[in-house]
Amino acid sequence: MLELQQNNCFFIFNFDHSKDNQTQFFDPYFWKKQQRIIGSAKGRGTTWFIQTKDLFSVNVALRHYYRGGLIGKLNRDWYHFSSLEMSRSFAEFSLLNQLFQAGLSVPKPIAARVEKNKLGFYRADILIEKIENAVDLTALLINNQLSLTSWQKIGATIRQLHNLQICHSDLNAHNILIQNYATQNEKIWLIDFDKCGKKSGDIWKEENLQRLKRSFLKEVKRMNIQFSEQNWQNLLEGYQQQ
């Protein structure tokens, strides 16, 4: 791990040694000039996908943190600063690194940045591994039915997370990816660990699962995805067997 401060910016890198221009890694225009942008996705802001295998051994996704809801219309991306460890990007980087080192199927964190101002607020960015040949579960279920094995794999992956006492506070069908769908190399990934963390006890685990089920039912109505009660029971079987 490499930590660095440059003026009002703080960085953490998942490198052993410094790299050229590393403080510019959070600027999409830096990558555009090198013709390394290979795609993007729209959400609250734009997530940029970047060709970096020669630099980091994986391609990456660059994401800036934006506020949502009504407050996001007034204050787009500034957050109150309490500590680097509690900042959105450093906290997510740290959690992802913990889960990655534990062998869970989560994107490898590559780097994070926090930019402070003199008023006690900060903006944040993160670079994480881009999961290749993967699609989010909601998009997949529009036109496909998952196998019994796939549903069980999803349940088992969530159980692995819960066994580490980590609560995914936004566990929904969009934050589950299936890589290499319907092949021997099919793999389940969990993404978007912003504002997630450790919880004690077990009561929250059932609540977390019910949150996921509600997201499936919501997408059945909204996008007509292929999801049934039997699918849910198959997922629970995988969860309970892990």
Residues forming the active site:
170
Q: How many residues would you count in the chain?
A: 242
- How many beta carbons lie within 10 A of that of residue 63, not counting itself? 23
Pairing of strands 134-136, 176-179: antiparallel
Phi first, then psi, for residue 112 (nearest 5°) are -145, 150
Closest CA to 158 of 240, 35, 39: 240
Q: How far apart are CA 148 and CA 236, in angstroms?
A: 11
Residue 105 to residue 129: CA distance in whole angstroms: 11
Q: Is beta strand 109-116 parallel, antiparallel or unpaired with respect to 9-13? A: antiparallel
List beta partners, residue 188. Answer: 178
